Amino acid sequence: MNNYSHKQTNDRLYRILKDISSDFHHELISRKTKIARDTYLYLEKDRNIHQRVIKEADVGVIPAEYDMSPKFDSLINYLENNLEDANTIHSRKMKNRISLIRNIRAELDELVSNNADSIVFSYTDDWLRVVSFRTFNRDTGDSKTISPFNKSGVFGFNFYLPADPYAPLPFKDAMIVTRSEFDLLQLQSLLLRNHLLFWNACAIGDDLSADIETVSKCSTESFKINVTPDLMLDLAHDENNDYGLDGLIRSFNDDYSEALQAVKSLWQDSIKI
């Protein structure tokens, strides 16, 4: 196939995943369905996430009767229509790509059919290309990750803007790494409430599947903030709040200035990645 390009196929696949992510996010922001409205209220009221953070985050819900097949069919048809013109080597590569794309579609179809009530977080690589999806069921707390490229990626890297050159170190250049998506969303919400710019930060989702390679590409220095149960017990901790950075920040209620100072103090005990 003269016009076959592995990179071109990958680029089209990345665009499909981005389109799917955008569909999930638009469904949440539009609040047209009960699931979308309930999820938005959960993030805003129950989790105390700032409205601007919800709007800018790669987070969403699955639209009712969502069918992503047409997005993949276009790419599969493109490859199959050119399969006859391919030489033996390219033919094998194309067949492998077609098989991969069909497997990705099947995985995502399963995600859609089994997670209708779940929040969906889109994870990206350092180029902000969507590489995986992670679901969270707000009733059970269960989560599941789908990684089409066998790469976990990071969540929330899209928030970062070039830091104020007069901002105090060490928060100007280094990246803060949190575990859960809610840790990251709560951190960025706290910054807005203190009238600050978003920090260079991301969430890795799960320590066991953390994509350290992508983290290292996002910043020259990265530090993981750990919030231990002992630290939480030393604070006025609400038993309904989660442990972790999310729970720490929410334990201060509306005292956002003190919460920010507590987060900054954790820097001394952070772990360099």
Query: What's the pLDDT tens digit per position in 217-254?
Result: 877 777 776 665 444 334 434 444 456 889 999 999 99
Whether 13 and 77 map to the same domain: the answer is yes
**153: Cα separation from own chain's centroid:** 8
Cβ neighbour number for residue 173 with a 10 Å cutoff: 12
Cβ neighbour number for residue 35 with a 10 Å cutoff: 19
Give pLDDT, residue 170: 43
Give pLDDT, residue 239: 44
Whether pLDDT at 158 is above 70: yes
Query: What's the pLDDT tens digit per position in 175-191?
Result: 888 889 999 999 999 99
Q: How many domains does the chain have?
A: 2
Give pLDDT, residue 272: 65
- Classified as helix, coil or strand, 42 is helix
- The tokens describing 57, both together, are 């985050």
Residue 92's domain is classified under what CATH number?
A: 3.90.980.10
Whether residue 222 lies inside any domain: the answer is yes
Whether 127 and 23 map to the same domain: the answer is yes
Whether residue 115 lies inside any domain: the answer is yes
Give the confidence band of 169 by pLDDT, cuts at 50, 70, 90.
Answer: very low
Cβ neighbour number for residue 196 with a 10 Å cutoff: 14
Whether residue 257 lies inside any domain: the answer is yes
Q: Which of 73, 81, 75 is closest to 1 using CA atoms?
A: 81
The CA distance from 156 to 66, in Å, is: 25
Q: Which of 173, 170, 175 is closest to 223 using CA atoms?
A: 175
* Positive/negative CA dihedral, 193, 196, 197, 203: negative
What is the amino acid identity at position 98? I
Give the confidence band of 151 by pLDDT, cuts at 50, 70, 90.
Answer: confident
Query: What's the pLDDT tens digit per position in 96-123?
Result: 888 989 999 999 999 999 998 899 999 9
Domain boundary among the residues 112, 146, 180 is at 146
Residues 121 and 134 sit within 8 Å (Cβ to Cβ): yes
Residues 245 and 225 sit within 8 Å (Cβ to Cβ): yes
Whether residue 153 lies inside any domain: the answer is no
* Single pTM value for the model: 0.86
- The tokens describing 119, both together, are 């929040």
The CA distance from 23 to 4, in Å, is: 29
Whether pLDDT at 32 is above 70: yes
Domain boundary among the residues 121, 146, 171 is at 146
Whether residue 199 lies inside any domain: the answer is yes
Whether 26 and 99 map to the same domain: the answer is yes
Whether residue 152 lies inside any domain: the answer is no
Whether residue 63 lies inside any domain: the answer is yes
Whether 169 and 257 map to the same domain: the answer is yes
Whether 39 and 136 map to the same domain: the answer is yes
Give pLDDT, residue 237: 40
Q: In the chain, which ranges are E strands?
A: 59-61, 119-124, 130-136, 143-146, 175-178, 201-203, 222-224, 271-272
Domain boundary among the residues 115, 146, 177 is at 146
Whether 33 and 68 map to the same domain: the answer is yes
Whether residue 260 lies inside any domain: the answer is yes
Give pLDDT, residue 24: 97
Q: Which of 175, 162, 170 is closest to 217 using CA atoms?
A: 175
Whether 170 and 256 map to the same domain: the answer is yes
Whether 131 and 173 map to the same domain: the answer is no
The CA distance from 130 to 249, in Å, is: 28
- Higher-pLDDT residue of 23, 263: 23
Give pLDDT, residue 15: 95
Whether 165 and 131 map to the same domain: the answer is no
Residues 216 and 273 sit within 8 Å (Cβ to Cβ): yes
By residue range, what is the domain housing residue 45?
6-146
Residues 6 or more apart whose Cβ sits within 8 Å of residue 126: 157, 214, 217, 218
Whether 114 and 170 map to the same domain: the answer is no
Whether 15 and 142 map to the same domain: the answer is yes
The CA distance from 131 to 106, in Å, is: 16
Q: Are strands 175-178 and 201-203 parallel, antiparallel or unpaired?
A: parallel
Query: What's the pLDDT tens digit per position in 14-31?
Result: 999 999 999 999 999 999
Whether 85 and 115 map to the same domain: the answer is yes
Residues 211 and 166 sit within 8 Å (Cβ to Cβ): no
